Amino acid sequence: MTMAFDYAPAPESRSVVDIAPSYGLFIDGEFTEAADGQVFKSLSPATEEVLSEVARAGAADVDRAVRAARAAFGPWSALPGSERAKYLFRIARIIQERSRELAVLETLDNGKPIKETRDFDLPTVAAHFFYHAGWADKLEHAGFGPRPKPLGVAGQVIPWNFPLMMLAWKIAPALATGNTVVLKPAETTPLSALFFADICRQAGLPKGVVNILPGHGDAGAALVAHPDVDKVAFTGSTAVGKEIARTVAGTRKKVTLELGGKGANIVFDDAPVDQAVEGIVSGIFFNQGQVCCAGSRLLVQESVREEVVDALKRRLSTLRIGDPLDKNTDLGAINSAEQLTRITELAERGEAEGAERWSPACELPSSGYWFPPTLFTGVTQAHMVAREEIFGPVLSVLTFRTPAEAVAKANNTPYGLSAGIWTEKGSRILAVAEKLRAGVVWANTFNKFDPASPFGGYKESGHGREGGRHGLEAYLDV
Amino acid sequence: MPTTSPAARSAGDTSYADVTASDASLRRFLHGLPGVDTVGLEARAAALGTRSIKTTAKAYAIDLAISMIDLTTLEGSDTPSKVRALGAKGAHPDPTDRTTPTVAALCVYPDMVATAKEAVAGTGIRVASVATAFPAGRTSLAVKLADTEDAIAAGADEIDMVIDRGAFLSGRYLKVYEEIREVRAACGDRARLKVIFETGELSTYDNIRRASWLGMLAGADFIKTSTGKVGVNATPANTLLMLEAVRDFRALHGEQVGVKPAGGIRTSKDAIKFLVLVNETVGEDWLSNDWFRFGASSLLNDLLMQRQKLATGRYSGPDYVTVD
């Protein structure tokens, strides 16, 4: 859409980040090649440009890293909490100091807008390290008994949608509670984790406490199955989560899983409409909808359906799609060709099922992986687009007539990670929130995160909680 | 948008007559408007404030902002020479660069209208006057109407009217409505009417949305945030809210109403943030001085300095723009 007031491009400079042509695995405080010499490429989803070549971990590397973490565990867990806190505070401060560099790197590698990495991801990453640094010397006051003990070596596997933030959610509590870590970042977004490895060195973190193994699913599987791993933490798809649950079943390993979602965003007829529309937009178009707690099902009261959908369409027409490094970009690139294919297929399925598909007129860049913001109206619970997690900028609009129906529809999903309620009536917020089977329920807002607030799901959305006091428990022997 | 049947603006329409039949019916209508969530509204205004406007977009925005200024002097110490100086400044904001657009209007007290009118003769700049016992509005309707009549007789093209905030806050919506109607009638075809709510005194966003609808129902051509005489004047959030109101009003009635944030907008950066709000909330239909104004006096010089910076690549400084 051309407007009279057309914003000139405002790209963030790439020169603040220096990406090396190749990176190794980070094991025992050193960068090293994979045992079998394998490598893979990480590319920018917005341009398909190869950013760097990264060593690809195999089973032998996993074993090496776990042994390093095991060796480091004794001295690390023996440190007084206040000493561990010093390292975590140091890491948090370095993240803040290098946040511009990391934000640009994350945008290049992931494809999400710089606006989000700069204003949301990096501040949240630093906040997680600060928060958990604060806990490190207060664990005996956290309500888990007088001397809660660390578990040992944590094997952590994280996804590509919030690479650095998921790393922070995993590593900060693990270190604060005295565990050591072997972390496998996703194969499409390994770079910020490798920069984090450098930050660990900069902070003088003892060798082996944090090990980073870029790699594919086989490395993740080897890590989860490794007999000397005491704790498995995974964020990613429900399918992989189920596989992990099967692998660790019957072992002494503790496990937390943050899996998929199909969050309901419930808009009652007395909702503050303009703000609800903003919340719906943030709920599903934040990070191109590649968010496990995305509000991908809009449940709107029938009496205001037309008004809300019209307002939503008007609002989507102003979303700016394109170069993620442009500070004015609202919607960036889809993370990978594979993910784009999946979104495209599911959207086509929605159309085939008879739901009405709508996207604003918008031009998509010619290279890279792009999908326009998309609405499906006339969706029912029986449609696949209302049931399956699409993990892309696709919103399904359903209606309801009574609060009871809203609750029934919101809960009628195999998932249970997030939900939103929009109403001016406080008592209705409480009454409905209580009945929703979701780990997080936002009222008159959406996608708000704080390290002190536990996050996690019901049913196929996961086991356990991350963040807050509850999140500490997952890393302690209590 | 209200869930009750839309009230048409023309007095002949019966549903409209229903809404304005009594304080009670007007209250039902205004309180039936969708609520405003403070946190969400302010977050949206702040998010739009982070748009990065550079180079060509910035040049466009600066010229647009200059052309939208109601160059204002509302001091007890105003003199004819001060007003004449302001007129000259409005006509040629930057004497060194004649491509600089003129401002939209001069905004003065009623007794200065004739002087202002002379000062801008032939420039296309309009003269706006804060009639109706500005800024408090605490006089009888007869006095307000006489004040308005004086200003129009002296040549005012636009009347900036303050509402009776006391009446509004005590729920006497009908009184506020009728006063606006009367002043609107006094303006007739001779002047456009801007209705000032003094949003800082209305204090809640719900009140600001209600006042916006009340003003539009009563026939305001423009709705304006504030007088510039209280602590809180125009903010991105209250202006965003009023833009949403005029957008919804046009969707319902087909009639376009302008918006004027006033007071406290001093820098180009601020002004551009307001233009982004306009651009992304109501779009280009409002991106002209027919539908959007800045009530400001010190803003102009900052815009001129930024304009010179874009033209020359260097910052000049306050001595390279005129003081009045």
Cα of A413 to nearest chain B Cα, Å: 28
Provide the ipTM: 0.93
Please tell me if residue A4 touches chain B, with a CB cutoff of 8 Å.
Answer: yes
DSSP annotation of A360 reads: -
pLDDT tens-digit series, residues A442-461: 999 999 999 999 999 999 99
Residue B283 distance to chain A (closest CA, Å): 8
Contacts of B35 in chain A (CB under 8 A): 270-272, 424
Determine the Cα–Cα distance for residues B36 and A277; give it in Å rounded to an integer: 12
The structure tokens listed for A370 are: 């792009």
pLDDT of residue B10: 45
Inter-chain touch A444–B39, beta carbons under 8 Å: yes
State the pLDDT at residue B15: 58
Nearest to A275 among B3, B41, B56 (CB): B41
Amino acid A304: pLDDT? 97
Confirm if B44 and B244 have CB atoms less than 8 A apart: no
CB contact under 8 A, B284 and A4: yes
Confidence of residue B7 (pLDDT cuts 50, 70, 90): very low
Query: Are the C-beta atoms of residues B242 and B215 closer than 8 Å to each other?
Result: no
Q: Does A270 touch chain B (CB under 8 A)?
A: yes
Return mean pLDDT, chain B.
94
pLDDT at A283: 97
Among B105, B112, B102, residue whose Cα is nearest residue B75: B112
Chain segment B234-281, per-residue pLDDT in tens: 999 999 999 999 999 999 999 999 999 999 999 999 999 999 999 999
Test mutation, A7, A114, A428, chain B, max B CBs within 10 A: A7
Q: Provide the shortest C-alpha distance from residue A302 to chain B (in Å).
A: 13
CB-CB neighbors (< 8 A) of B283 in chain A: 3
d(CA A113, CA A124): 16
Q: CB-based contact (8 Å) between A10 and chain B?
A: yes
Residue A106 has pLDDT above 60, yes or no: yes
The Cα angle at residue A209 between residues A203 and A211, in degrees rounded to 5: 95
Position A67, amino acid: R
**Digit-coded pLDDT (tens) for A127-178:** 999 999 999 999 999 999 999 999 999 999 999 999 999 999 999 999 999 9
What pLDDT digit, counting tens, does each position of B161-214 carry? 999 999 999 999 999 999 999 999 999 999 999 999 999 999 999 999 999 999
Distance of alpha carbon A95 from the chain centroid = 18
Query: What number of other Cβ atoms are within 10 A of residue B99's Cβ?
Result: 8
Catalytic residues of B: 160, 224, 260
In the predicted structure, residue A2 carries a pLDDT above the cut 50: no
The answer to whether residue A6 neighbours chain B at the CB level (below 8 Å) is yes
Cα–Cα distance for residue pair B310/B320, rounded to 1 Å: 14
Identity of the residue numbered A348: E
Task: Check residue A117 and report its DSSP letter.
Answer: I
Token pair listed for A88: 């975590």
* SS3 of B152-178: HHCCCCEEEEECCHHHHHCCCHHHHHH
Instruction: Tell me whether residues B50 and A327 touch, CB distance under 8 A.
Output: yes
Indicate the fold that domain B15-312 takes in CATH: TIM Barrel (3.20.20)
- Altogether, the residues listed in chain B come to a count of 324
pTM score above 0.90: yes
B-chain CB neighbours of A445 within 8 Å are 39-40
Quick check: A346 and A376 in contact, CB under 8 A?
A: no
Q: Of A197-201, A314-318, B320-324, which gets the smallest average pLDDT?
A: B320-324
- Is A278 near chain B, with CB under 8 Å? yes
Q: How many beta-carbon pairs under 8 angstroms link A with B?
A: 78
Residues on chain B touching A444 (C-beta within 8 angstroms):
37, 39-40
The token duo for A462 is 């996961």
Q: Is there a contact between B44 and A8 if contact means CB atoms under 8 Å apart?
A: no
Residue entry with tokens 């992990």: A244
SS3 (DSSP) at A398: strand
A7, A115, A279 ranked by CB distance to B57: nearest = A7
Residues from chain A contacting residue B275 (CB–CB below 8 Å): 5
B239 to chain A nearest CA, in Å?
Answer: 14
Residue B317's CB: how many other CB atoms inside 10 A? 9
A306/B contact by beta carbon, under 8 A: no
The structural domains of chain B, with segments of one domain joined by +, span: 15-312
Mutate one of B5, B31, B36, B37 to test the A interface: name it (highest A CB count within 10 A). B37
For residue range A344-376, what is the model confidence (pLDDT) as tens digits?
999 999 999 999 999 999 999 999 999 999 999
Helix (H) or strand (E) holding A147: none
Closest by CA position to B204, among listed A443, A430, A424: A424
Which residues from B are below 8 Å from A279, CB to CB?
40
Gap between the Cα atoms of A197 and A185, Å rounded? 12
Model confidence pLDDT, tens digit, residues B72-105: 999 999 999 999 999 999 999 999 999 999 999 9
Region A193-219: mean pLDDT is 98
Most A CBs within 10 A among B4, B52, B206, B278, hence the mutation to make, goes to B52
